[in-house]
Amino acid sequence: MRARHLAPAALLLPFTLLLAACGGSSRAEGGGGTGSGTDGKGSLTLNVADQKGGSEALLRAAGELDDLPYKIKWSTFTSGPPLLEAVNAGAVDVGAVGNTPPVFAAAAKSKIKVIAGSHSRSDGETILVKKDSPLKRPAQLKGKSVAVAQGSSAHYQLVASLKKAGLTTKDVTLNYLQPADALAAFTRGKVDAWAVWDPYTSQALDQADAQVLTTGQGLVNGLSFQVAAPAALDDKKKSAALKDYTDRLRRAQNWVFKHPDVWAKAWAKETGLPEKVALDAVKRTRGTAVAVAVDKAAIASEQQIVDSFAALKLIPRSFDFGEFVDPRFNGDLPPSGTAPRTYGKAH
């Protein structure tokens, strides 16, 4: 029996296991297992905020945790906004998020600094509809209901897609739902469309009778970030550890591109995703990332998100995104507009 014929509840488990960096508000996870342990040795401890199947799993699979000269204490969060709340509070030193959570955090005057970036393809940033939907282009979303996680990269992708189609968020009914709830609503026909990101895109296409109405390719910047606490950057030893940590992530991402099948298996095991879905997401989006400098172009691109959300009153104020960037680790990294990698035709 194909998975898409399962009851919606049966489809939710992998989604609840992996709320990606782009997601909306949730809570930190406690308990044992991945995300609650410590790696490395030495007197210095770097407190790293992570998400299920995120940086820890990536670094471990690539062998980049084998010879750490400092300790990493992992804390697992279900999404970007609460992760950045922990950075702001000084509870963690650094964590990975998508392109939109830093905008919301900075708008709230959080104590955060973007220190590293990566650029991925945006084919996994999608607006999905059912295969039997009469909707064939974004302009037809007028008057329809769309599920989206508030403050997520999908939120901005939806805004940008509507704008290109001559619409605004006022022309649709927004249902602010986290991916697990959005999947249930989408599966049951409670919403007409779903704006979401990989690996949810890949899973919905494989299991929820979904098809792509439009993608973020050419509309969104495809950036994701490492965001650090200013206090950690001000500590000489922790700053050196942060530089080493971002270097390890860059090498791990290079490893992923060369070993998509190995990483997909590890990622699937970590998150509960089916291996096929994991591999689809790796080849569509996750494996295409290339480490880039957080440069003036990246800041300008993020400023567009700031200005868009401020104009829609989705954040309380506009501000200079550059004030929340620390470029000290840019080094000889390529420009932020450097083309992502590709595995050939989009999946």
Question: Which residue shows structure tokens 């249930």?
Answer: 184
Q: Which of 271, 224, 205, 218 is nearest to 58 (CA)?
A: 271
Please enumerate in sequence order all residues whose Cβ is within 8 A of that of 95, keeping only pairs 6 or more positions apart, or say none.
Answer: 48, 49, 50, 77, 83, 84, 86, 87, 226, 227
Residue 51's pLDDT band (cuts 50, 70, 90): confident
Distance CA(15)–CA(8), nearest Å, equals 11
Distance CA(109)–CA(236), nearest Å, equals 24
Q: Provide mean pLDDT across the span 118-141.
A: 96
Q: Which of 70, 32, 23 is nearest to 51 (CA)?
A: 23
Q: Position 254: which residue type?
A: N
Element of type H or E holding 282: helix 275-284
Question: Which residue shows structure tokens 């999905």?
Answer: 128
pLDDT of residue 150: 87
Q: Radius of gyration of the chain from Cα atoms?
A: 19
Distance CA(76)–CA(56), nearest Å, equals 10
Q: What interhelical angle do 275-284 and 260-271 show, nearest 10?
A: 130
Distance CA(4)–CA(11), nearest Å, equals 8
Sheet containing 71-77, strands listed edge to edge, beginning at the edge strand earlier in sequence: 38-40, 71-77, 45-51, 94-97, 223-228, 113-119, 290-292
CA angle 54/55/59 to nearest 5° reads 125
Distance CA(145)–CA(191), nearest Å, equals 5
As given in the structure block, the two tokens for residue 197 are 């990101």
pLDDT in tens, 142-200: 999 999 998 888 999 999 999 999 999 999 999 999 888 999 999 999 999 999 998 99
Q: Position 215: which residue type?
A: T
Note the pTM of the prediction, 2 decimals: 0.86
pLDDT in tens, 289-331: 999 999 999 999 999 999 999 998 989 999 999 999 999 999 9
